[in-house]
Amino acid sequence: MQSQDLKELFIDELRDLYNAENQLIKALPKMAKASISEELSSGFEAHLEQTKGHAQRLEQIFQTLGEKASGKKCKAMEGLIAEGAEVMGEDFDGEVMDAALIGSARRVEHYEIAAYSTVIKFGEMLGQDEAVKLLEQTLEEETETDEKLVAIMNDFKLEDSAAGDESDEENDSRTNSPVPMKKARTARA
Ligand code: FE
Ligand code: FE
């Protein structure tokens, strides 16, 4: 592998991430607004501030590399955000809306986690230590955000409106599992 080629790929992927972060800066306020619980709403607002920092770190990296801070349309993020917008258009009730928003947000975080892990690896190979340090800070915030989303999801409880329906799952407290929403379950039955 030629280092010049890898460096081009590195910069290309940073541009993709820069565009992805900027798309998120526009999307997160809408997700905060659509959230039912204060906890989720303020979580999105907090991540919006972090996301602005992610974009700034990328600008800092471009500057160090002597590259213009410009993005390259991230189609994946565009798709993830479009799906999130679809979710917001549904008339889910209360916590089900929050559960759906968390599903969208986790998809975004996992995309970012995969992308940052990858550019960190490239940066390490290229000896771009300063860039790697900045990218690692962002990766940590993305990971923490995903964990917070899981924690909110783990607090969800089904109301006992259809007794008997869940009788054999009384003690079901699996962590990190999809929310066992009745709606989804009956739809699949
Ligand atoms: Fe980010
Ligand atoms: Fe993020």
**What are 88-140's pLDDT values in tens digits?**
999 999 899 999 999 999 999 999 999 999 999 999 999 999 999 999 999 99
- Cβ proximity of 20 and 74 under 8 Å: yes
Is residue 68 included in any domain, yes or no?
yes
Is residue 154 included in any domain, yes or no?
yes
* CATH classification of the domain holding 36: 1.20.1260.10
10-59 pLDDT, tens digit per residue, is 999 999 999 999 999 999 999 999 999 999 999 999 999 999 999 999 99
Write down the pTM of the prediction.
0.84
Whole-number Å distance between alpha carbons of 91 and 77: 24
Residue with tokens 């007794």: 163
For ligand 1, the distance from its centroid to the CA atom of residue 53, given in whole angstroms, is: 8
Is residue 128 included in any domain, yes or no?
yes
Whole-number Å distance between alpha carbons of 88 and 19: 22
The pLDDT confidence band at residue 81, using thresholds 50, 70 and 90, is: very high
Is residue 189 included in any domain, yes or no?
no
Average pLDDT over residues 133-160: 95
User: Looking at residue 184, what is its pLDDT?
Assistant: 43
Residue with tokens 């964990």: 147
Q: What angle do CA 165, 169, 170 make, to 5 degrees?
A: 100
If one compares 161 and 168, the residue with the highest pLDDT of the two is 161
For ligand 1, the distance from its centroid to the CA atom of residue 115, given in whole angstroms, is: 10
User: Looking at residue 165, what is its pLDDT?
Assistant: 52
User: Looking at residue 159, what is its pLDDT?
Assistant: 83
User: Looking at residue 94, what is its pLDDT?
Assistant: 87
* 99: helix, strand or coil: helix
Residue 181 has pLDDT above 80, yes or no: no
For ligand 2, the distance from its centroid to the CA atom of residue 108, given in whole angstroms, is: 7
The pLDDT confidence band at residue 187, using thresholds 50, 70 and 90, is: very low
Is residue 188 included in any domain, yes or no?
no
For ligand 2, the distance from its centroid to the CA atom of residue 110, given in whole angstroms, is: 8
Is residue 93 included in any domain, yes or no?
yes
For ligand 2, the distance from its centroid to the CA atom of residue 25, given in whole angstroms, is: 10
Domain count, the chain: 1
Q: What angle do CA 96, 102, 108 make, to 5 degrees?
A: 150
Ligand in closest contact with the CA of 47 = 2
Residue 75 has pLDDT above 80, yes or no: yes
For ligand 2, the distance from its centroid to the CA atom of residue 111, given in whole angstroms, is: 9
For ligand 1, the distance from its centroid to the CA atom of residue 88, given in whole angstroms, is: 21
Domain containing 58: what range? 3-183
Q: Which amino acid is at 143?
A: T
For ligand 1, the distance from its centroid to the CA atom of residue 6, given in whole angstroms, is: 23
The pLDDT confidence band at residue 160, using thresholds 50, 70 and 90, is: confident
For ligand 1, the distance from its centroid to the CA atom of residue 159, given in whole angstroms, is: 34
